[in-house]
Structure 1
Amino acid sequence: MASIVKRGKSYRVQVSLYKHGQHKRISQTFPTKKEASLWALEMELAKGEGKELAHRTTTFADFFENWIYLVKINDVKETTFQNYVRTSGIIRNLFQDIQLKDLNDIVVQKKIDEYAKTHSRKTTHEVLLKIKTSLRDAYARGYIVNDFAPLVKTRGVNPQKRNRALSITDFKKLRNYVLQHPEDEFNVLVLLALETGMRRGELLAIRPESLYEYGIEVRHSISPTSDDTSLKTQNAKRDVSINKEVYELINRIPVKENGYIFNFGGFKQSEQLADLLTVLDIKKTTFHGLRDTHASFLFAQDIDIAYVSKRLGHINVTTTQNYYLELVPEKKHQQDADALNLLSAL
């Protein structure tokens, strides 16, 4: 097992090796403890000699943090890597000083259940997936003796959906208001979300060169957690048509110093939207809920699903079909009536 010793302002790492019947030690000095820890982990992973590593006293939190900076940083996109970094903080709070040698499915299940008490099932599942990935890697390299990751399950319940679609009545009410008050830049952003179904990051990434008569080229997305402006998927690259009135409203907004049309506003668009909906006496939804509203409205008008899928930038039509579960209320009531009428006519 590697040892790290502080010497003055530097850190010396020493790693024990056993090869061809002989014991050997290699060492190296680093200016920071983090660099020393990463190199130590890299050397230990490279050894790959078997299950004796399962008895090491490294904490799971330390292993996970070092693992993402050594292994995952080169395997995933920047935005995904930042998710791993955030998960590292969650793991440190949950597992604290629990060591690799003390991990098993019961310990991990208990911790993930604890996390699920205050988080949605979806969020808990995403954290657990990252934990499982690291545990499988640890097992493959001999850091733990058993591959128990598949035994750990996501529990808990899903809270009420916050990204709900607005009713047709509320959709029209909101659209009319923002259309009549374009002097507030945020209102134009809301209008665009309703008119295009674009994601918040895609809307914030609009530059003058993104516009054409009459439409928007979706090529980038702004994230609050990363400088990476690439789109979520390749399918997200698309051209979205808009009407002349909306196009002219966008062109009236002064371009910002950073080259974008809209202010990022601290990425608090959902909070701003909540205030606006309160003023208009409309039931609350999130900014992403405006995207759901756009999709639901198109479905309510019987627009071809293939067209809707392409307009939303979905990876396939199956993804788009999931929106049928969130149809605007008026359409659902009409479908209920149609279904009952058909049955009554038998």
Structure 2
Amino acid sequence: MASIVKRGKSYRAQVSLYKHGEHKKVSKTFPTKKEANLWALEMELAKGEGKELAHRTTTFADFFENWIYVVKIKDVKETTFQNYTRALGVIRTLFQDIQLKDLNDIVVQGKIDKYAETHSRKTTHEVLLKIRTALRDAYARGYISNDFSGLLKTRGENPPKRNKALSITAFKKLRNHALQHPEEEFNLLVLLGLETGMRRGELLGIRPEHLYEYGIQVRYSISPTSDDTSLKTPNAKRDVSINKEVYELLRKVPVKDNGYIFNFGGFKQSELLAELLKELDIEKTTFHGLRDTHASFLFAQDIDIAYVSKRLGHVNIQTTQNYYLELMPEKKHQQDADALNLLSSL
């Protein structure tokens, strides 16, 4: 049975546990007797339902670490697991010594909101998803009394998109420069990014045996944080066609000692691209922005969206629509004119 003891101006509630031949106790102090009784009742009910109350004094950070190294390490790819280990650092900073027994939606939401003050909404959401999954696991194992993970929300603002699609004019200018200066290996990498929409890791993962007339078999992806060369998703395994001119230039690139066609270059492709775009007086984007540019250009030319989605290696068309298809300025002006002409003809 639970006991309530008055200690000065506060009340200490204590619940006795018996498990595996050992007696243990969990306790908590409250400002009022009513709160102490309510907590004691909740603990007794949870104990009766078989909840593992002895684990409630474990810190959330320690639980999360144990959870990812025992459970998640077997469920996800190595590159994905690296994201969990980075999230562990965030959770240790945010939650510090807060124990499982002290967690509720108000406490956790406060920590998430604090993180959102200095991070984008997308980054915050990725951390929240991992916290939610860990909390559900803790509840399933009886370490917390209720599952409040569904009450947690992502807040904050998203900064302007960095992976911005280039205009058609800028696209042509950059492509022509790369074609005219193929002796610079990086220019050819940029050309392939524009020509294929392949991810950076997929481009770096091209080996001679992946070339066919005229196209590239996407089979590997090189990561700056892992030795895992597997592709992002099963749909990422695909064959991407290229024109003859680009194919012939690619065949001339000397194969490196590691068997790949391109140097990894310290994974500084976005920095190198920024320098190139500045030199050519082209609006700034990231290397991943070349993928957006490729997709948006095809979209602007009325290429079927199902083809674009398959070419990019997306799981479904919705992903393509949500993240990669933008109206390039020239296309938007054309659409505006067409819309006005239709209205004028009424």
Q: Which TM-score bucket, shorter chain as reference? A: 0.7 to 0.9
Measured in 1, the distance between the counterparts of 2:120 and 2:324 equals 22
Matches within 5 A, 1:103-122: 103-122=103-122
User: CA contact under 8 A between 1:121 and 1:156: conserved in structure 2?
Assistant: yes
Pairing 1:3-152 to 2, within 5 Å after superposition: 18-19=19-20, 22-23=21-22, 49-53=50-54, 55-56=56-57, 58-152=58-152
Q: Which amino acid aligns with 2:244?
A: K
Letter in 1 for 2:300: A
- Could you tell me which amino acid in structure 2 is paired with residue 317 of structure 1? I
Aligned-partner SS, 2:307: helix
Task: Name 1:229's counterpart in structure 2.
Answer: 229
- Structure 2: stretches of 5+ with no match in the other structure: 1-16, 24-48
Distance change >3 Å, CA 73–CA 17, structure 1 → 2:
farther
What's the offset of the Cα at 1:321?
2.6
- Distance in 1, Cα, partners of 2:150 & 2:173: 49
Q: Is the 8 A contact 1:309 1:316 kept in 2?
A: yes
CA distance in structure 1 between the partners assigned to 2:323 and 2:52 by the alignment: 48
Deviation at 1:89, TM superposition (A): 0.9
**Which has the higher mean CA deviation after the structures are superposed, 233-242 or 192-201?**
233-242
- Secondary structure of the residue that 1:326 maps to in structure 2? coil
Confirm or deny: 8 A CA contact 2:295 2:325 kept in the other structure. Answer: no
CA separation in 2, counterparts of 1:53 and 1:134? 18
Q: Give the number of equivalent residue pairs.
A: 306
> Counterparts of 1:49 and 1:80 in 2: how far apart (Å)?
33
Residue 239 of structure 1: SS of its match in structure 2? strand
Give 1:143 deviation, angstroms.
Answer: 1.2
In the alignment, is the contact (CA less than 8 A) between 2:51 and 2:144 conserved in 1? no
Say if 2:182 and 2:188, in contact at 8 Å, map to a contact too: yes
Q: Specify the alignment match of 1:261 in structure 2.
A: 261
Provide structure 1 residue ranges, at least 5 long, that are not aligned to the other structure: 1-15, 25-47
Question: If the length of structure 1 is used for normalisation, what is the TM-score?
Answer: 0.84
Deviation at 1:123, TM superposition (A): 0.8
Q: Displacement of 1:51 after TM fit?
A: 4.4
Q: Aligned-pair distance for 1:53?
A: 3.1
Alpha-carbon shift at residue 323 of structure 1 (Å): 5.3
User: d(CA) in 2 for partners of 1:146 and 1:306?
Assistant: 43
Secondary structure of 1:126's aligned partner: helix
Instruction: Provide the secondary structure at the position in 2 that maps to 1:240.
Output: strand
Question: What is the TM-score normalised by the length of structure 2?
Answer: 0.84
Task: From the CA coordinates, give the structure whose radius of gyration is larger.
Answer: 2
Once the two structures are aligned, what percentage of the paired residues are identical?
80
1:173 counterpart = 2:173 = yes
Whichever residue aligns with residue 53 of structure 1, its letter is: A
The letter of the residue matching 2:115 is Y
AA of the residue aligned to 2:249: L
Instruction: Judge conservation of contact 2:51–2:145 (CA < 8 Å) in 1.
Output: no
Distance in 2 (alpha carbons) for counterparts of 1:50 and 1:87 = 27
Distance apart, 1:201 and its partner CA: 0.7
Report the counterpart of residue 193 of structure 1 in structure 2: 193
Deviation string, structure 1 residues 28-54 (Cα, Å, up to 9, x no partner): xxxxxxxxxxxxxxxxxxxx9414236
Which amino acid is the alignment partner of residue 63 of structure 2? Answer: F
Would the aligned equivalents of 1:295 and 1:323 in 2 still touch at CA under 8 Å?
A: no
Q: Distance in 2 between matches of 1:212 and 1:330?
A: 34
**SS across alignment from 1:159:** coil
CA RMSD for the aligned pairs?
1.9
What CA deviation, in whole Å up to 9, does each residue of 1:159-193 have, x standing for no partner? 10111100001001111111111111111000000
Alpha carbons 1:59, 1:99 under 8 Å: kept: yes
Q: Matches of 1:186 and 1:340 in 2, distance apart?
A: 43
Residue 87 of structure 1 aligns to a residue whose secondary structure is: helix
Deviations 1:178-224 (A, max 9, x none): 11111111110000000011111110000000111111011111111
Give deviations 1:299-341, integer Å, cap 9, x for gaps: 1111122221221111122222335751211101111111121
Q: For 1:123-156, what per-residue CA distance to the aligned partner results, in whole angstroms no more than 9, with x for missing partners?
A: 1001000001001111111111221211111000
- Given the superposition, is the C-alpha separation of residues 312 and 325 from structure 1 closer, same or farther in structure 2, using an over 3 Å criterion? closer
What amino acid does structure 1 have at the position aligned with 2:180?
Answer: Q
- The one-letter code of the counterpart of 2:51 is G
Q: In the alignment, what sits opposite 1:30? A: none
Tell me the CA shift for residue 17 of structure 1: 7.6
Give the match for residue 286 of structure 2: 286
User: What per-residue deviation string (whole Å, max 9, x for no partner) do you get for residues 222-249 of structure 1?
Assistant: 1112222111122111111111111111
Q: Cα distance, 1:81 vs. partner?
A: 1.2
**2:19 aligned partner, one-letter code:** Y
Quick check: 93-102 or 82-91, which moved more? 93-102
Report deviation, 1:100. Answer: 1.6
Instruction: Give the 3 Å change call, closer, same or farther, for CA 222–17 of structure 1 in structure 2.
Output: farther
Q: Does the Cα contact within 8 Å between 1:194 and 1:293 map onto a contact in 2?
A: yes
